[in-house]
Every structure is written in structure tokens, then in C-alpha cells.
Chain A
Amino acid sequence: MPVDYQDIKQQIQQNASQSGQQQKEIQDRLKKAGELLEQYANKLDFLQQRVEAAARQFGLRCACPLREPLDFAADPPAQHIRPVVLAADGSQVNPSRHDEVIFGLINVGLFRMAPGEVPGESVAGHLFSDDELYPARGGMISEDLVALKRDLEERNFLLQKAGLEQGPVLALVDGPLLYRKPRDVSGAHADDDVEKAFAEFLAVTEEMAGRGIAMAGYVDRPGADLLVRLLELADTPPDELAQADRHRPLRRVSDVALLSGRLKPGQRSAVFALESSDARVFSEHTRPHFFYLNVGAGRPYLARVEIPAWVADDPDVIGAIHAVLVEQCRMMGPRAYPYALNRAHEIAVVTFEEKRQIGMMIAHELSKYGVAPEGPSNKQAGKNAMSGGRSQYHG
């Protein structure tokens, strides 16, 4: 049965009629946020103390300024180190009990760009073993753990390939450097496999830092309000600080909205430390920091760039990352996004046809050992039948 367009249309009209007022409220809050940004722009010691005090009292997730004022804006440096860019991206096949053959796969694509050289590409695939698919605690591997293992494979591949380079390396990944552990595997529900994979994730991050491999996580169209949250915290009266986690006067104002008019094309914001309980799991050396970058050539288009603490402490490396990312984004024309990451994604992606082929290869191999696949679930078979389309009567 098709969608009930009449009913949906009424709901659309109702939502749209409310959006004008909501937009006005958000604009008012944005104006207030802008005023607070200017008010606290240079009060870095006060802000750092506020964050420290609040973090001790409740789980806080916000920006913490370092040395640059809040309204800082810098153009990319004209002269900078020219590193080899290694971009990695992973894609995964999550195992599904509805599939004809149950398997899980991580495929990591790596793209290398060096000045004056023909770019190179490599790919590494990891098919989950039976033990990985079916953990000792029961059930099947979770999608969260598959995603964590994918991020781990990306970093391991970057580490391996960076080891082959002679000069400075910039290792790029899509998305944050921070790993936010899912709540259902934290604390009392801790999952040994997640803990083990996360420990490896931290270890490889540490090793990259130890070898001086500059790493950056590129977050496209970020929706976070880390800087806005800092301003809310700064504006909270001292006697209400204990309740500051519920004090959200600037709700629905994003950092991107706040900084869009303040960063000209190619400019970056100040570098901030990322304050959160997840970030504190990292060592002092590798703790995630970030800055915003306007990669738009005309209209502002902001990305968040996450970097480890040791990179945030080195202006030359920040300058190189800033300049390289602007260059990379401009390579893509009007839809600014790092070219190397786009290519890494293209290399990594597992198409539906490739997934089907791998399923057939596994079924063929299993048949040699007398193991026959169960076939698709009835639910999946029904879906497949519906997507087969209709045949026309030709007489």
C-alpha cells in the first residue's frame, strides 16, 4: 500500500507552520551566542577553570580553549610542510541472520597522494572468523563492535603504510578521532570484546603519535555544539554551576551557525581541547582536540577537524594540516570535501554485487566440507521477491 500522502501532507503543513517561530527563536539565541563569544573571547583562564570545575561535577561534553581567543580566525599558511597524504576509509558488511550466507567483512581503502607523484591506492579486506562472528558471551557480533573494528583496521592500515614513508605523513580519516563507547556496552554491561578492541584502538593511536604520524579526523557538516556549550557554561551563574548540565539557553544553536559568518573561505578557528569523559580515556598526548575550517569557496561550509593533543601543540603541523585540507577540498570543486578521503571511500566501498559474490564464494567453499547454507530467511526472501519488479504480459 502506498504512503498516505494526504495524511503526510497535513503533518508537513503543521510542522512548517511552526518552523517560522522556531527559526526566530533560534536566530535570537544565535545572536546571544555571538555576543557571548565576543564577551568571553579572551577570558581563556576563566573558561578553562569553568570547564575543569564543571567536568568534576557532571559528565560534560564541550570545547575547552587553549591559547587562541574564541573568535580567532587564521588563513592557511603560505609556506608549510608538504606531507604525504594517506587517507583511509573503511566499509563493512554487517552479518545478518536473514542473509543466505552469514558473514561479516571489513574492507579498508587507502589512498596516497604525494606532491608530484602519481597517486596510489591499496585495499585490505578482513573476513570475520567464526569466533569473531559469534562472541563467547553469546549472540552475534554487534554493529557497534563491527564499526569499532573497522576504525581499528583503518588505523592499523594507516600505521602500516605510513611506516613505508620517508618524510612527514598526514593520516586522514573520515569522522571523529574520538570513539564514543555505546552506552549498552559500558559500565555493568561492559563487553570484553569491545574493551579489547578499544584497548587496541588506543594503542594504535598511541603508536601513531609515538612515530610522529600526524592524524586528522575530518567531520563533514558537523552538528555539534561544543563551543556553544562552552558559552552556556561560561554564562552560568557560579551558584548554579552544579546544575549547568541542564542549563541550555542556547539549545539548537550549532557551532557551525555560530562560526559561519566569522570564518572567511579557507580560514580556521581557534584550536580547542575536546572535554568529555570519552576524550579523557585517551592519554594526554593523544587526547582529541579540534578546530573548525571553512572549506567553502563562496558560501561558508564548515568542517570540524579533529587532531590529537601533540599535533595541537605544534603550530607547524597544524598549519600543514590546515593548508593541505583546504587544497584537498578545493580539488573537488564546488562540493568541498577532501579529495583523498573521497577516493579512499570509493576504494573501500563494498557494493551489493560484491557482497553477493563473496556470499557465493563462501557457500561454494563450505559445500566442499558438506556444509550447506541455510538460505535467506523467509522475510528476506519475501523482500527479494517484492524488489524483483513486475513482468509485463506480452501475449
Chain B
Amino acid sequence: MNATLLTSAGLSSTQPVGLLWYLTAAAILFALGLTACMARRNAIGILIGLELILNAAILNFMAFWRFGQPSTHDPSMEGPMMGIFIIVLAACEAAVALAILLNLYFNFGSVEVDKANRMRL
């Protein structure tokens, strides 16, 4: 790894933590969220995993935004904007998901995803 990279990574004496660490954190979070999605039996558990993934994505956006600004006097607000929209959409999606989940609960009697392995006749 060359000095530039390290510098941008924030591993220099005068610089705080850099891009790569944020990205790494986001990656870990993403992996955790994926695990939750795949392995959880409860539908709400899957939703939790989904929220984790989404948050990892927002973190990614913010990290790239923060470490890609040309100057501070006229910042272009991609990072936070993306964050806002993602949060909004996450809210919508959570609402609808829960509505579906309630329907699931009332039809199959439980929230476990395995129980819904057949198309309803």
C-alpha cells in the first residue's frame, strides 16, 4: 500500500480515521444484516436484518461523500440526501412489510417464515 492510500485511509499522524475503515465497518454491518436475513426464522427478525443492511448502505454513502468533498464552502449534499431518502423508503417498506406480516400471522397462525412455504389455494 502506498502512502497516498494510507493517507486517504486516514492512517497518518495528522489525519483522523479514513475512508477504508468506515467502509469496512459498513461491510461488517452488511454481513451481519445478511446473516440475520438468511438465518432468522421469525419474519420480524428478517426485517431487523434488512434494517441493518440498509443502515450499512447509508453508512457507505456517507463515507464516500465525506471523503470525496472538493471543498467545504459549497458542499454538494449527496451523502445526507441519499441518507434521508433511504430512511424514508425504509420507513415505507417497514410499514408495508409489517402489514404483510400481520396478514401472514392471521392466515397461517404464526409469524415463522417456514410456515408459509405453500401458495394459498
- Do A and B originate from a single complex? no
